[in-house]
Structure 1
């Protein structure tokens, strides 16, 4: 699913960019838009979260590794953009991200012990540096890099119950670094921007079971979130 979303987004961006670059139309829309010091907008999109799991016992195989089944979620949020110069902008993009991952633990016989649904509602706050090319007709490609912090509104970090009672616990807050690219399209009334971004957690999100020998979390040294965001921005 993630590969399909990535391919479709890249094809869309490429075809739209080619249409703009090689079109005979040279009428510039929103000519003074990029001269504004501050601009605002909003975004809608979808996401696919995953986990990078590291184990204490490095001798693992397909029969013992945890299986992560990623589900597609959706995003909505606001944008604040500050112009530094013609090619550099600082962006703050707070948003609400709904996600789910299903974990399957091999070695158990009953489904209630095998499956753990990890649902999350993140308040995700990234601070990004946007590095743009020169505007070409009515498009401007760019890349973004930055750091972010998320707060999981669905966290059960303080729950006294753990996997022995069917509760897989995750931390409340996570830090990330981010990298992505997109294209600004200057339309007649507004600027439309499709983009794709990868996020990579720098902090462990797992709350281990109270029993250090737990069959669910005892062999996990860290569990860090990875994700792909596809957003559509309107400014």
Structure 2
């Protein structure tokens, strides 16, 4: 199931990759000469930028055996919701084609859970709000510059800390407790468009957590039907680099 899920997320990358290939083909076939912007930028040992992003967040949910042996909660499934990120970017040049990139961000996200019950018959949505401090460390592989544009791919590791975690909360039985810390991996692709005074970089990436975020408590009825919750996020970012 894990391999199938990863293949599905990589399948989502087909749209930006097809766009990348189309732009490369059209750019190489163009005959007109272009004035190169920020020629000296490629030799900089390091540079900084800011990040604005939109995210689509959800949990990958695995049911507990308890779910199959009870007849009260009939459905529990994750819901996808939208949020946004604000961040800083630091880029260190390793070689002609490789960079090391740190992109700390403050992310506002929701990973909600939908329940349908029989006794009594009702539908419930548990809103799990998160304010995440994210610390991704990535390797960036970039193509040759084509006039005022280049293509790149990224891959790396991340650590997230949820400032809104309810792991220590004490409330009624309808609570689903979520841990504060998470770690995982990221992969994505993007463009760099060179303007006279800055670089505009749209980017698409997937960001997957590897740890079980649920704080297991068999006394919480909405929680004990779940074996594990792993975070998933699809992010579209705009980097402005100087």
* TM-score (norm. length: structure 1): 0.85
Q: Give deviations 1:16-55, integer Å, cap 9, x for gaps.
A: 6566444424221111112111100001010001111112
How many pairs were matched up?
225
* TM-score (norm. length: structure 2): 0.83
Q: Is the 8 A contact 1:132 1:142 kept in 2?
A: yes
In 2, the alpha carbon distance for the partners of 1:47 and 1:110 equals: 33
Q: Is the 8 A contact 1:121 1:154 kept in 2?
A: yes
Match among 165, 189, 199 for residue 181 of structure 1: 189
Structure 1 gap ranges (5+): none
2:106 corresponds in structure 1 to: 96
How far apart are 1:221 and its partner, in Å? 1.7
Q: Cα distance 1:77–1:83, how it changes in 2: closer, same or farther (>3 A)?
A: same
Structure 2 gap ranges (5+): 1-8
Runs of 4+ in 1 over 3 A off after TM superposition: 5-23, 108-111
In 2, the alpha carbon distance for the partners of 1:190 and 1:12 equals: 22
In 2, the alpha carbon distance for the partners of 1:229 and 1:169 equals: 25
Matched position secondary structure for 1:34: helix
Give matches, 1:143-158, under 5 Å.
143-158=153-168
Give matches, 1:96-135, under 5 Å.
96-108=106-118, 109=120, 114-135=124-145
CA RMSD of aligned residues (A): 2.6
Q: Is the 8 A contact 1:13 1:194 kept in 2?
A: no
